[in-house]
Amino acid sequence: MEYVYAALLLNAAEKEINEENVAAILSAAGIDADDARVKALIASLEDVDIEEAIATAAVAAPAAGAAAPAAAEAAEEEAEEEEEEEEAEEEAAAAGLGALFG
């Protein structure tokens, strides 16, 4: 997953996604980059529009959830509680990432 994350980070920074840049990000994160995996990643992303892939994935997830039948009230309340807990965990994780990147 680190290799994909490196590519996403490069995409977000509007930098070229190439072997050198992916390897540099992995190295900065303290990960020994496997040249074969880096080359495979670059080859697999060659004809991929990452922004389009992200948008497609973001649209597909809610559509799948909308097709599911309605759950009982107890299940809904439990899901809301879990969602609140997840949001709290995500906020804590985001705060930690903020400290990393200033």
**Rounded-to-10 torsion of CA 63, 94, 31, 11:** 50
42's CB contacts (< 8 A; 6+ apart) are: 17, 18, 19, 22
Q: Choose between 54 and 98: higher pLDDT.
A: 54
Q: For 44-97, how does the pLDDT look when each residue is reduced to its tens digit (9 = 90+)?
A: 999 999 999 988 887 766 655 555 554 456 567 677 777 777 777 777 666 665
Q: For 4-46, how does the pLDDT look when each residue is reduced to its tens digit (9 = 90+)?
A: 999 999 999 999 999 999 999 999 999 999 999 999 999 999 9
Q: With a cut of 70, say whether residue 98 has pLDDT above it.
A: no
State residue 95's pLDDT score: 66
Assess if CATH 1.10.10.1410 describes domain 1-68: yes
State residue 78's pLDDT score: 72
State residue 79's pLDDT score: 72
